[in-house]
Amino acid sequence: MTGQQRVAIVTGASGGIGRAVAERLAADGMSVLVHYAGNPARAEETVRAITEAGGTASAARADVAEESEVAALFDLAEQRYGGIDVVAHTAGVMHLSPLADLDLAEFDRLHRTNVRGTFVVDQQAVRRVRQGGAIINFSTSVVKIALPGYAAYAATKGAVDAMTLILAKEVRGRDITVNAVAPGPTATPLFLDGKDQATVDHMASMAPLERLGVPEDIAEAVSFLAGPARWINGQVIYTNGGII
């Protein structure tokens, strides 16, 4: 890729971790297509932050679970920037409930976005990403630490782990890495919504570093996997400050 502008698609980049990832990859010198699902104003804020810092970015909408819309998103990246080297799939939804009480309509919504959405995005990514590129999915540390209330959400991310590990083997010979980042408790609206201060404080205390993660912590891991980390492949990287 020497001498060629690298290009990244970041899904869910209108806020939270996705925005931090988009800004970081742009700061690393990549042209970034900022994907959003339903909030164009916030997506344009991400684009503006990148361009005001001297980077290159534009925004586009798609439902990650719809094949035609995701294909059009990838088409757009190729048309605007000439190709695709990195796909960071941060888009996802979360709903918390004890397993016994969960409305199955919520389970289906989680599955559609987190499992089908990852499958659809990965399908386009593996067809389009250029040699030397990287596909980075998003899992969660809750798959390992097994917090009550997270059964449905963690189940969808367990599926993401499986897809990631298998896809890494299916791209043999193409010099493309496939990994997943698994954040722990991170101070974003997705995480903080509905939690009282005592719960937030408890979860902050779980890490030996005694704080919540911030989106920039997660973006740092994505930057590593998207750029220099060519010998890390087929892994789920727990990005959580040391929570076991």
Instruction: Calculate the alpha carbon distances from 16 to 55, 66, 82, 192 in Å.
Output: 19, 23, 27, 11
Classify strands 56-61 and 7-11 as parallel, antiparallel or unpaired: unpaired
Residue 195: which pLDDT band, with cuts at 50, 70 and 90? confident
Contacts of 83 (CB under 8 A, 6+ apart): 7, 77, 130
Q: What pLDDT shows up at residue 244?
A: 79
Contacts of 47 (CB under 8 A, 6+ apart): 34, 57, 58, 59
pLDDT at position 131 over 70: yes
- CA–CA separation, 56 vs 114, rounded Å? 28
Q: What pLDDT shows up at residue 122?
A: 98
Looking at beta carbons, which pairs linking 145-151 to residues 24 or more positions away fall under 8 Å?
Answer: 145/184, 145/206, 145/243, 145/244, 148/98, 149/96, 149/97, 149/98, 150/96, 151/98, 151/99, 151/102
Residue 200: which pLDDT band, with cuts at 50, 70 and 90? confident
pLDDT digits (tens, 9 = 90+) for 78-106: 999 999 999 999 999 999 999 999 999 99
CB of 209 within 8 A of CB of 241? Answer: yes
If you search the block for the tokens 């492949």, which residue do you land on? Answer: 233
pLDDT at position 1 over 50: no
pLDDT at position 240 over 70: yes
In the numeric block, which tokens belong to residue 2?
A: 């020497």
pLDDT at position 2 over 50: no
pLDDT at position 123 over 70: yes
Least-confidence region, from 1-10, 90-99, 105-114, 159-168: 1-10
Give me the mean pLDDT over the 127-133 stretch.
98
The catalytic site residues sit at 153
Q: Average pLDDT over the chain, rounded to whole?
A: 95
Give me the mean pLDDT over the 161-181 stretch.
98
Give me the mean pLDDT over the 164-168 stretch.
98
The DSSP-derived string for 21-75 is HHHHHHHTT-EEEEEESS-HHHHHHHHHHHHHTT-EEEEEE--TT-HHHHHHHHH
pLDDT digits (tens, 9 = 90+) for 45-62: 999 999 999 999 999 999
CB of 88 within 8 A of CB of 21? Answer: yes
Domains and CATH numbers, the chain: 7-186+215-239 (3.40.50.720)
Classify burial at 238, counting beta carbons within 10 Å of its beta carbon; exposed 0-12, middle 13-18, buried 19 or more.
buried
Give me the mean pLDDT over the 130-159 stretch.
97
